[in-house]
Each structure stands twice: as structure tokens, then as C-alpha cells.
Amino acid sequence: MLPENDDGSDCHGGFRMGKARLFVVATVLAGMVGLTGCLEDTSVSTTGTTAGSAQGAAANGSTGAPAGKPGSAAGGAKQAQYGEVLEVRKGGDVAATLSVAAPKAVGSFFGGASKPTSGPAFATFIVSFSSQKQGFNVNPFDFFVRTPEGARVQPTFGCEPAFNAATLGAGEKFQGCLTVDVAHGNLVYTSGLFDSTSLVEWPGF
């Protein structure tokens, strides 16, 4: 007869359950490490082309680096132009292209029920991706606005059609609208959830 613990379970069974739990935890951690590793090799480069004629201007009147000649923004992120088409690379291969239209200020949403808390208007951005590979993930929280004070402001509910999370197939195009409750700042695109390295930054608004 197997020895029992105080709760009536046998020691061998408890040991087996302990090993099972340890295996599950190790598997989850390994998956997170693997995912983080995939995110770390993400980079962005310019194509030298634009998706439209709209060009954003910085708050000080400058326009940043011209299309095809990226500059360097805070934290080592590339400086891009609004409307410029960028390549998102993973593992050195082009996974998707990305472009962001110049921001537009919107005073309220939902018939005035949603109003900005940090200024006279929300900042809204039309974001477009074109996937070159199967399984490319897009997420609104890969973007944020860095304010002049250095605060990081994430997207919120607002403009439609909203830019939502999705997994794209090869050749699939995806477009949506980001809403950020902020009056001024710089839009930034990051490498993802686990390793939020700033990859590219657009001019201030």
C-alpha cells in the first residue's frame, strides 16, 4: 500500500503531479523566451516610396528625414515620414510593409460621449500594413505616442474602422484607424509585447 499525505493523496501520485506541473511551467517559459527571441530580430527600413502625398510636419516646422533617407530618432529608432512606405523585417526577410498617414485631430467620438482628457482633441492615425508572409501579426498596442514630457500613451477607442489585432496571410492588406488621447507627441512603432524596442518614429504633431 502506498504511503499517504495528510490530504489522502499518495506520495508517488503527488510527486508525479509535481513533475507534470514543472513540465507545464517550463514549456510556457520556453515558449515565451522563443517568442521574445523572434521579436528581438525585428527591424524596419525604408523603401524610398510613399503611399500618398501627405507629409507630416514636426511641431518645430521641420519635416524630419526625407523618404528614402531615414534619420535617427530618440532611443535609436528610425525617423520616418507620414505616408512613407516602410519594410518590416523579421530575421532579415521582409515580412510586411507599413505606412502611416498624417494625424488628424478629432474633438469627440460617439456623439460627444467620448471626449479627450489631455487636450482639445484626440490624435487619429490611419495605419496600413501589407503582409508579405503568412502569419504576420498586427496589434494596436505595437504603437504608442510619446509626449513632449516623455509619457507613453497607448491607443484607445475612437475612430472607425478601428485598427484591431489580427494575423495576416501572405499578400493580405490590413488598414485601420488608431485613436490616441493626446494633444502633442510622436507616434512610435515597437517590436511587440515582450520586447518593446522602438523601431520607427514619425514627426511630432
Q: Residue 146 sits in a domain of what CATH number?
A: 2.60.40.1240
* Same-domain status, 6 and 49: no
Does the predicted TM-score (pTM) go above 0.85?
Answer: no
Sign of the Cα torsion 74, 88, 100, 83 reads: positive
Residue 11's domain spans which residues? 1-40
pLDDT digits (tens, 9 = 90+) for 17-54: 344 343 333 333 333 333 333 444 889 998 888 875 33
Virtual CA dihedral for 185, 70, 50, 190, nearest 10 degrees?
A: -50
* Same-domain status, 77 and 20: no
What are the grid coordinates assigned to 179, written together? 485613436
* Same-domain status, 34 and 76: no
* Same-domain status, 119 and 25: no
* Same-domain status, 71 and 122: yes
Residue by residue, DSSP assigns 114-179 as: B--SSSSSEEEEEEEEEESSTTEEE-GGGEEEE-TTS-EE--BS-SSSB---EEEPTT-EEEEEEE
Displacement of CA 48 from its chain's centroid (Å)? 22
Q: Provide CB contacts within 8 A for 84, sequence distance 6+.
A: 46, 47, 49, 50, 51, 67, 99
Rg (CA), the chain: 22
* Same-domain status, 65 and 18: no
Do 171 and 131 touch, CB atoms closer than 8 A?
yes
* Same-domain status, 33 and 117: no
- pLDDT value of residue 49: 86
* Same-domain status, 30 and 121: no
The span from the first CA to the last CA of the chain, in angstroms, equals 75
Hey, what amino acid is at 80?
A
* Same-domain status, 153 and 193: yes
* Same-domain status, 120 and 78: yes
- pLDDT value of residue 67: 36
* Same-domain status, 115 and 94: yes
* Same-domain status, 107 and 162: yes
More confident residue, 55 or 44: 44
How many separate domains does the chain show?
2
- pLDDT value of residue 174: 98
pLDDT digits (tens, 9 = 90+) for 80-135: 999 999 999 999 999 999 999 999 999 999 999 999 999 999 999 999 999 999 99
CA dist., res. 2 & res. 134, Å (int):
53
pLDDT digits (tens, 9 = 90+) for 162-175: 999 999 999 999 99
Beta bridge partners of 176: 127
